[in-house]
Amino acid sequence: MNLFCGKHSGTVILNKAKRSEESIINTKTRFFVRLRRTQNDTRNSFLQGDLNFKAALLWMVLFSSTVSGIDTGLKISDSPVEMHGFYEARAGYRLRNDRHQKDMSIMESRLQLDFASYPEWGDLKFKGDVVGDLVLEKFDFQTREAYIFTRPADNIDLTVGRQILTWGTGDLVFINDLFPKDWQSFFIGRDDEYLKAPSDAAKISLFSDTVNLDIVFTPRFNSDKFISGERISYWNSGNLNIEGSNAEKYVDKPDRWFRDYELAARLYKNINNYEYALYAYHGFWKSPGGERADGQVTFPDLNVYGASVRGKIGKGIGNLEIGYYDSADDRGGKNGSVNNSEIRYLAGYKQEIGKDLTLGLQYYIEQMLNYGDYLANLPSGPARDEFRHLITARLTKLLMNQNLRLNLFAYFSPTDKDCYIRPNINFKATDNLALEAGANIFFGDYPNTFFGQFRYNSNIYTAVRYSF
């Protein structure tokens, strides 16, 4: 799901598709285990197995060498394994009745284990979560990170595996950051770290006195964890109604290895304490951006080219960012079932306005190109605006020796006439124990605007976390 799409949000996906994908993944996992047990066609089973399991298996093989002292030739056995993690219980409830969803917005317990080892030749990292989810009534294991980092030369960094990637200058507004996001986690009250979903990718960084270059290759498309109706209801542009777990649409997601790939690059340099960057991306719309005649929603081809600058302005930090979204499957804008090309603009400023009190402001504009053709070929329902404006504000106050953090983040769109407010309180009771409470509040005059469609999903939540 694209967080900053405008009206007539036809790029949503429904519950049956999500459940179908989960069923397929579970089937593949069971199939892989059976093949391993019978030792038949091991190579094919590995290629078809669940990615979480493969990532965990790779890490365990590498770290078993560390623990057991096997001589791998890479001196893994000389490096100890560090372990950190946390246990967390988190609960939340809706503030309004949603006939398509449970009253519980979130109700889960989570154990995260974070392992790291630092041999001479590089780093090994594994982070995984064991989750008991009472809303979906299931038990799950999620691999957050599982990668190898090495430095083959003084000016080259290489990271291969599952990793969290990000770049760009926005604060919870993304233009050139085309790495996957988990919007479900964001809207139901999970910790902010879970907004960034992992990528199965290889990243190479090249450094020089002239300029620095990051290149990320993802061999198989990693989409956003978009709003599917499974946890959150939304505007269905096909039925012109708010729907959720009752939805029945299907998704056609690119998933062929080394054919449906993504390639992202960032060229950047610091000049007089200002960071300038150029970006490029080739892949697909990260959330569904098209719909076929049979009702299947799709991820059309997408190319993005952008630039940004960030540096000191007065007593604070300012940033500018722009991105051109080239919708390669509909450059002329005449296909009403595929997202039009767009230009996105962002200006931001952040400053400490008092002792331990920080204010950040952003202004974001989304411009649809070929707007006349869009209107002429609009299938049905309300139309998007040619320009969508969005204002954000973040106010953060630290108290009690910075152990108590009060945070308020708000989105407001004067064109859509809707808003989204995220208050949050976090108290660090001890070095290990933290208490948290917050809310996700949605308002909107119309059910088809982006934040307006979620007004029945407003919720409050609380959490207790013990870190070790």
Q: What is the dihedral of CA 26, 27, 33, 36, to 10 degrees?
A: -140
Among 36, 119, 135, 45, which Cα is nearest to 82's? 119
* Residue 264 covered by a domain: yes
- pLDDT tens-digit series, residues 19-59: 444 443 444 444 333 333 333 333 333 333 355 555 555 55
Would you give the DSSP letter of residue 187? H
Are 462 and 91 within 8 A, CB to CB?
A: yes
> Rounded distance, CA 112 to CA 467, Å?
9
Q: Name residue, tokens 């590089």.
A: 122
Domain hosting 302: range is 15-467
392-407 per-residue burial string, b: 16 or more CB within 10 A, e: under 16: bebbbeeeeeeeebeb
* Residue 10 covered by a domain: no
* Residue 126 covered by a domain: yes
* Residue 5 covered by a domain: no
Are 198 and 180 within 8 A, CB to CB?
A: yes
**How would residue 63 be classed by pLDDT, with cut points 50, 70 and 90?**
low
* Residue 344 covered by a domain: yes
pLDDT, the chain, mean: 86
> Rounded distance, CA 212 to CA 409, Å?
33
**How would residue 14 be classed by pLDDT, with cut points 50, 70 and 90?**
very low
* Residue 186 covered by a domain: yes
CB within 8 Å of 216: residues ≥ 6 apart: 165, 179, 199, 201, 202, 203, 262, 263, 264, 265
Q: Between 333 and 345, whose confidence is greater?
A: 345
* Residue 333 covered by a domain: yes
* Residue 1 covered by a domain: no
**How many domains does the chain contain in total?**
1
Q: Name residue, tokens 């060498």.
A: 65
Percent of the chain with pLDDT over 90: 71
Among 166, 167, 158, 268, which Cα is nearest to 203's? 158
Task: State the CATH number of the domain containing residue 150.
Answer: 2.40.160.10
CB within 8 Å of 153: residues ≥ 6 apart: none
Tokens (6 digits) for 168:
């760009």
Least confidently predicted of 87-101, 225-239, 348-362, 417-431: 225-239
